[in-house]
Amino acid sequence: MPSKPSYDPAIAGEFPTFVTHLECSYTGERFESGQLHGLSPAGKPILVRYDLEALSQAVSKDELAARPGGFWRYREFLPVREAKNVVSLGEVITPLLSLPTLAGKGGELIVKDEGRLPTGSFKARGLALAVSMAKELGVRRLAMPTNGNAGAAMAAYATRAGMETTIFCPDDTPEVNVSEIEYQGGKVYRVNGLINDCGKIVGEGKELTGWFDCSTLKEPYRIEGKKTMGLELAEQLGWDVPDVIFYPTGGGTGLIGMWKAFDELEAIGWIGSKRPKMVAVQSTGCAPIVKAYDDGEEHAPLWENAYTHASGIRVPVAVGDFLILRAVRESGGFAIAVTDEAIALSQAEVAQKEGVLLCPEGAATYAAYKQSLQDGRIKESDRAVLYNCATGLKYPMPTISRTLDKNQPIDFSAI
């Protein structure tokens, strides 16, 4: 039998949209939907707001369960107005993988494996929505800074939509990411700096070039795509939430998006008031959110000389810092930093004991889980979810040198 498509192409015309307005996440200033927006006049991210009462009357849990897989099935919760503007590359519902060998006593440890999405990372969620809305609003050229996976996702979705993309990445970005960006239609430049330096180039060039800045949280719609991680997780858990979520945090769009999703689900009566502890996981070599959390600050200053081999969380400054910190604090969660050594050891441990190949950023969440058990910030009996943000196949693995000579006697006792 042919597999079901990721969204129903039989839907024609307009989506049942429930967007009422957009608003500044910091000041509450309101803006009209259906227009192109970047940051608010206050220089802060803009959020999409919905008529949740009307939304709750338009779709039921049973109707949702009957729809084909992929995050476009949550169309009532999303801002796209016309089905023709949906840009899809065959998205799937990403699986929950239990790690019974490594779980705390009496608890449950689950990986949500986002590496199954198009372009091999959770960036597909945010960029599918950003590109679809750019298409709906008439944008033809996009630009962004990237540590790798976001650039690959934007290049792929924008190429699918017939748009041009210009992408800037640090010069030590993994080669596979640089190559896939260019191979999937993007024009990519290596920059002798970090992602914030790349972001400055995007900002400085937008007036002269006419491209639209699609940087993390500098437009309203990537967060709506990342929000689907929370919608999907709640549905997979029987419209419940776990005790704790460990999230690899660079720009933090997914953590903010999931927190928004849980609020929207409670507002329509699909979940209760229970919330997971939201844990922002960073590297000790780049931990601005952790420092701000520990210092009791609302904003995180630039982290100087940032370094970690988990490049996806090497973000020295985040425009949505206050939103990350609000979600962490309101949930009773925390921010935690782990060493690159702990990340590497955790990646090997999960692979060798559970058969699950995490990316370095995903491995950071397992390192944080172990550290949090040891220091008592979570309980062994907790149900914990780790977000693996990309396929581990994109990253270096140990070189294996064992060989056999078929022309010589083989000592099977030594094998």
CA dist., res. 364 & res. 281, Å (int): 7
pLDDT in tens, 298-309: 999 999 999 999
Alpha helices in 273-391 (DSSP H): 288-295, 321-330, 340-354, 360-374
The secondary structure of 208-250 as a DSSP string is: HH--EE--TTSSSSHHHHHHHHHHHHHHHTTS---SEEEEE-S
pLDDT at residue 110 tops 50: yes
pLDDT at residue 147 tops 50: yes
pTM of the model: 0.94
State the average pLDDT over residues 343-369: 98
pLDDT in tens, 223-265: 999 999 999 999 999 999 999 999 999 999 999 999 999 999 9
CA dist., res. 283 & res. 175, Å (int): 21
Q: Are 153 and 119 in contact (CB under 8 A)?
A: yes
- pLDDT band for 14, please (50, 70, 90 cuts): low
CA dist., res. 314 & res. 288, Å (int): 10
- pLDDT band for 104, please (50, 70, 90 cuts): confident
pLDDT in tens, 383-402: 999 999 999 999 988 899 99
pLDDT of residue 1: 44
How far does the chain reach from its first CA to its final CA, in angstroms?
43
